[in-house]
Structure formats: structure tokens, C-alpha cells
């Protein structure tokens, strides 16, 4: 898979999940068996805003050339998705969300592995220059 393809997938995921979380967080979280109080709605909307930022970063970086800036973007997205994987896995194992949450865990894992794959070779090639 090319980095461009992975960035487009990331952008689509962020659009499809981030926009609904931003606009109707109670509905989205209820799908996963979670309920939100007022503070939870605020935090969920902040997360939705974060996903909109990831959407913009992923979409506009899709055609970037090999550089330190592209390496930084890949690193940032890798860390974001790796942390998302760990947090989602803990939530599902602790019983905080229903089994549909495994979809989120797998999605974060896929993205973290994908960006991790592109992270190492890119860094090595930049150090060679």
C-alpha cells in the first residue's frame, strides 16, 4: 500500500467518525453502549474536533514529498493511532463499551501499523542524505 492511500483512508475514517461525533456525540457513543453526561459531551466534541484536524492533516499531506515534514506527519499520526489503540483496547477489556468497540480497536491497530510501516524506512532514507 502507498502512503498516499493510507492517508486517504485515514482522512475518510476521520470524516466518517469525526463529523458525527462532533455533531451528535450522544447518538454515536450510544451505538457503542456508552452514555454521556454534559462533561462527556464536551470531551466527545473535543475528540471530534481532533479528528477534524487529523482529517485536514491527512488529506493535505497525501501528496507530500519525502522530507522531514512528512516524517513528522507520519510520526504524529502513528503516535495518535497507537495511543488510540491502547485506550480503545483498555476501554473494551474493562467493559466500558460493547463488543462493537472491537471495530474501533482494529481500526486504530490497522492505522498504527500502517503509519509505523512507513515511519521507519522514511527516517532511514532521510538520515542517509
State pTM to two decimals.
0.87
8: buried, middle or exposed (CB in 10 Å: 19+, 13-18, 0-12)? middle
Closest-CA residue to 10 (of 112, 129, 85, 121): 112
Q: Are 64 and 73 within 8 A, CB to CB?
A: yes
Is residue 78 a contact partner of residue 86, using CB atoms and an 8 Å limit?
no
pLDDT confidence of residue 120: 80
DSSP category for residue 64: P
Tens digits of residue pLDDT in 9-41: 999 999 999 999 999 999 999 999 889 999 999
The burial class, CB within 10 Å (0-12 / 13-18 / 19+), for 1 is exposed
Span 92-108, pLDDT tens digits? 999 878 888 999 999 99
DSSP codes, 93-114: HTTSS-TTHHHHHHHHHHHHHH
Work out the angle at residue 42's Cα, subtended by the Cα atoms of residues 41 and 43, and round it to the nearest 5 degrees.
Answer: 90
Amino acid at each position: 500500500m502507498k502512503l498516499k492511500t493510507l492517508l486517504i483512508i485515514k482522512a475518510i475514517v476521520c470524516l466518517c467518525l469525526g463529523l458525527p461525533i462532533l455533531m451528535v456525540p450522544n447518538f454515536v457513543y450510544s451505538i457503542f453502549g456508552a452514555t454521556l453526561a454534559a462533561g462527556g459531551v464536551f470531551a466527545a466534541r473535543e475528540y471530534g474536533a481532533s479528528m477534524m484536524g487529523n482529517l485536514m492533516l491527512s488529506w493535505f499531506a497525501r501528496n507530500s514529498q519525502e522530507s522531514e515534514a512528512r516524517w513528522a506527519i507520519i510520526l504524529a499520526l502513528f503516535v495518535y493511532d497507537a495511543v488510540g489503540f491502547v485506550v480503545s483496547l483498555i476501554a473494551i477489556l474493562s467493559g466500558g463499551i460493547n463488543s462493537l468497540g472491537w471495530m474501533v480497536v482494529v481500526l486504530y491497530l490497522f492505522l498504527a501499523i500502517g503509519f509505523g510501516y512507513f515511519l521507519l524506512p522514511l527516517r532511514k532514507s532521510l538520515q542517509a542524505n
